[in-house]
Structure 1
Amino acid sequence: MADKASFQVIVLGPTGGPREDNVTGILVRSISTKWVPNSVVAVDAGTMLAGIIRLLEQYGPDAKDDEGILQDGPFKGLELPFETAQANAAHVFREIIGAVLITHPHLDHISGLAINTPILEAGSGPKPVAALPSVLSAIKNHMFNDVIWPNLSDEDGGAGLLTYQRLVEGGNPRFGSGDGRGYVRACNGLLTKCLSISHGRCRQRFHPETGTHHRVGSTVFAADQLMLPSRAISVDNTDGSFYSPARSPRLLPSNPKESIMATVESSAFFLRDHRTGNEIIVFGDVEPDSVAQEPQNKRVWETAAPKIASGILRAIFIECSYTDAVNDAYLYGHMCPRHLVAELKVLAQQVLDVRESNQTDRKRKREDTGVADGSNDLSPRTRRTQSIAGLRNRRPETTSEPRTRSHLRDSIDNISEDPMGLGPIEGVDPLADLETPNPVQWANADPLPLAGLSVYIIHIKENMTDDPPIGGQILSELQAHSKEAHLGCEFFMPNPSEGIWI
């Protein structure tokens, strides 16, 4: 597969805890770059050096040829200039990893970045850390702040080992063209575009001095925020539960009206191979739109669908932290199999819509433009039915807001108020299956809507018991749901000891 692949992905940390040495960290490179300097991007850095060392120790010095090139394992083809795994891992971090993309600022996604960064003193220039502005604001104010950890950035008089790259949400339209519009350079051979997604909710405290809530947009982190120890953080979907099992009454506001619930911002990174144009998506922690305060996943699916339909988007790396046994109230802004498959059903419908639109466009090009389509001969009742169908399939002009029943109700009602007095159309529900696509309608599609798409499951919450690893149960539930939904995609649990070729 490596001969035909565009990407190699190494999952250093496939879990969401509680073990600190195995949390989220992913390396991605374009195959075309052949391990040249700055040819790898890290997506999240809960685990970085520890994971690299573990793999290099597994494929030790005996796996190198006479020129020092590794002959086996996920780092196959990489020249290792040193003898020990520790020294070679430091070399990879300093020279081969060109940038670190951070999806959101929770510790299981950034702790390795803090602990590992001091070794960059022997490197060549600051390491770019790229993320949405809210994420970098959190890292700057609450980690690299000379309190929790030294300020190792090149801002505010820091040590200059890191440099912050603030990404434009949804992509920067000034860069690229065509399918690549909005993408910016991530490292040698890779481009990226970042979309905001929701990772649950947080409780925010009313500031007694300013009389305002600390919130900018959809995130809990303001652009120039000082450290505010009075904030109580929660990513639960219930008012009474906190992310940590240990609750502190001291953090609760004395007056419930003094707190509001705001969305915790996470990210989905589209990564594009500069040579082939092929893409993958790597999600940060994410919750389903069905329970989100600010549903945003559909924007990602709308962006992904044309790429899947054309065959350039090959794989999605997305979390599925718990099994279906977990109630929605205790997902803490995460996914479980029933919700992940429900999200993929939305993606499947988007892909089918794109295919149908493409087929219609091709048909129109073949038709003689001088031939009337006969639409004026349709009865008012038929035209009204087609109008309703058009509303079902029409994309909203602004994709930041999901298409829901409430968004279309006014338009549907306008159709219902038929000036000819035809009344309701029997057997037609204008909003049927709008929010949850019915997989029966594509059960016989050839190919199935997500055929050829690989879905890799990350951020599994380990059970830490004598029971079998929970990943097997999550994978089994996903496969069962997917088979029933006729999606056509394949699910995988990444093996950290192997490179994934895409």
Structure 2
Amino acid sequence: MKIISLQAAGPGQTHHRKPVLRWLAGLLMLVAVAPLLAAPRPLPSARGFELIALGVNGGLTDGDLSAWLLRAAGDRHYLGLDAGTVLPGIAAGLRQHAFDDFMATPGSALTRQGQIFTDGISGWFISHPHLDHVAGLLIASTDDTAKPVYGLPQTLDALSRNYFNWSAWPNFADRGPAPALGRYRFQPHVPGELFPLQGTQLQGQLFELKHDRMISSMLLLHEGMAWFAYFGDTGPDQVQGSHCLADIWTALAPLIRQRQLSGMVIEVSYPDGIDDQHLYGHLTPAWLLTELHRLAAAVGGRQPLAGLTVVIGHIKPSLRAGHDPRQLIERQLRQGNDLGVRFVLPRQGQRLWLPAPPAAHQA
């Protein structure tokens, strides 16, 4: 077996040192992240968030599109975060034992998948109304139970106008063309407003994102002093000509300084090499790392993001032979990661346990 020496390079050897250190950093990141994907169930006294990937892709594969479930430790109910794929994602989670501690209702006539869908999910947050973020909700709405749907006013208006209109789909909302069946209770919130997520221990706050020509959104969630950020689709500020991400980094900076942010979900749709004009409001590894450096600058201090968990979603598959965007994105993030961030790229159906940072435990 080849042994790689980590001793200081002598004269003429400095060009070997950076690759070795980057290789070691990447290896340590993989070791650190592994427990997140294969974590034991949290102890009853634990604090943090359970995250289940219902769908992780950003297009093409209609059974694996952007959707997540999140709940705080000790909470029975999940909050749905986007809904590109729902029932196939629950089925994938059941196969991988992601729902082993979900308490089913005794005597129910529903399957376990049906119980998780109808009773285990307390409501839905929709970051923006693109089809790859709502298709699962639409298709399964015929069998869903009455739930709130949270989002920006313009997002919920688009859901009503374009989908729940008795043309594209029956009107299961509580507004729009009659008869409004009222299965989904639209709960619009403006950016900055703090609101409770019904049926859970969570509270939320919305921030605007710029996604090409559309307004998308980020939901900042917290339970006690533990916080988690979920990003809908977003382009980098510099390309979008906006300050949306800069405003969010300003808001997250004190949470990171106080060691209260458990992590975030954010998109990386394409590998590096895509022209900015063809990003269409999305991120690449290089652009995400650029934005995370801006976050680090807002936090201040030495290696302020070291250990921060950043979950990557919305990867766009490719039909090109021999081209694996997921593998490329993972490698490019690892190679460019000089921040000590823990990047996690889960597969559909996987469960992640994101413990609250120490300061949140002490609060």
State how far apart, in whole Å, the 1-side matches of 2:157 and 2:119 are.
Answer: 26
Aligned counterpart, 1:194:
206
* Pairing 1:56-75 to 2, within 5 Å after superposition: 56=94, 58=95, 73-75=97-99
Pairwise CA distance, 1:482 = 1.8
Contact 1:282 1:317 in 2 (8 A): yes
State how far apart, in whole Å, the 2-side matches of 1:139 and 1:499 are.
Answer: 29
Aligned counterpart, 1:170:
192
Q: Which has the higher contact order (CA 8 A, sep 6+)?
A: 2
Distance change >3 Å, CA 185–CA 29, structure 1 → 2:
same
What SS class does the counterpart of residue 290 from structure 1 fall into? helix
Residue by residue over 1:65-103, the C-alpha shift from the partner in whole angstroms, topping out at 9 and shown as x without a partner, is xxxxxxxx2112113458999822221121111110000
The gaps in structure 2 that reach 5 residues or longer are: 1-38, 355-363
Contact 1:53 1:86 in 2 (8 A): no
TM-score between the two structures when normalised by the length of structure 1: 0.59
Aligned counterpart, 2:88:
50
Aligned counterpart, 1:96:
120
State how far apart, in whole Å, the 1-side matches of 2:140 and 2:323 are.
Answer: 32
Does residue 19 (structure 1) correspond to residue 61 (structure 2)? The answer is: yes
State how far apart, in whole Å, the 2-side matches of 1:497 and 1:95 are.
Answer: 19
Aligned counterpart, 1:106:
130
Given residue 93 of structure 1, which amino acid in structure 2 is its aligned partner?
F
Residue by residue over 1:444-471, the C-alpha shift from the partner in whole angstroms, topping out at 9 and shown as x without a partner, is x2xx110121111100001134425321
Instruction: Say which of 66, 76, 85 aligns to 2:100.
Output: 76
Aligned counterpart, 2:165:
145
Pairwise CA distance, 1:288 = 0.1
Aligned counterpart, 1:334:
282
Residue by residue over 1:306-355, the C-alpha shift from the partner in whole angstroms, topping out at 9 and shown as x without a partner, is 00111110211100000112111111110001110000010000010xx6
Instruction: Say which of 174, 180, 192 aligns to 1:158.
Output: 180
What SS class does the counterpart of residue 331 from structure 2 fall into? helix
Instruction: Say which of 310, 322, 334 aligns to 1:479.
Output: 334
State how far apart, in whole Å, the 1-side matches of 2:160 and 2:344 are.
Answer: 35
Instruction: Say which of 206, 213, 216 aligns to 1:266.
Output: 216
Contact 1:46 1:111 in 2 (8 A): yes
State how far apart, in whole Å, the 1-side matches of 2:90 and 2:280 are.
Answer: 29
TM-score between the two structures when normalised by the length of structure 2: 0.81
Structure of higher CA gyration radius: 1
State how far apart, in whole Å, the 2-side matches of 1:89 and 1:47 are.
Answer: 14
* Pairing 1:385-424 to 2, within 5 Å after superposition: none
State how far apart, in whole Å, the 2-side matches of 1:83 and 1:494 are.
Answer: 34
State how far apart, in whole Å, the 2-side matches of 1:32 and 1:307 are.
Answer: 22
Contact 2:93 2:351 in 1 (8 A): no
Does residue 40 (structure 1) correspond to residue 84 (structure 2)? The answer is: no
More strand by share: 2
State how far apart, in whole Å, the 2-side matches of 1:82 and 1:49 are.
Answer: 21
State how far apart, in whole Å, the 2-side matches of 1:314 and 1:77 are.
Answer: 21
Instruction: Say which of 154, 163, 180 aligns to 1:134.
Output: 154
Between the two proteins, what is the percent identity of the paired residues? Answer: 32
Pairwise CA distance, 1:143 = 0.5
Contact 2:48 2:72 in 1 (8 A): yes
What SS class does the counterpart of residue 68 from structure 2 fall into? strand
Contact 2:220 2:229 in 1 (8 A): yes
What SS class does the counterpart of residue 93 from structure 1 fall into? helix
State how far apart, in whole Å, the 2-side matches of 1:52 and 1:110 are.
Answer: 15
Aligned counterpart, 2:50:
8
Aligned counterpart, 1:278:
226
Pairwise CA distance, 1:476 = 1.1
Given residue 467 of structure 1, which amino acid in structure 2 is its aligned partner?
G
The CA RMSD measured in Å over matched residues stands at: 2.0
Contact 2:190 2:206 in 1 (8 A): yes
What SS class does the counterpart of residue 32 from structure 1 fall into? coil
Given residue 184 of structure 2, which amino acid in structure 1 is its aligned partner?
L
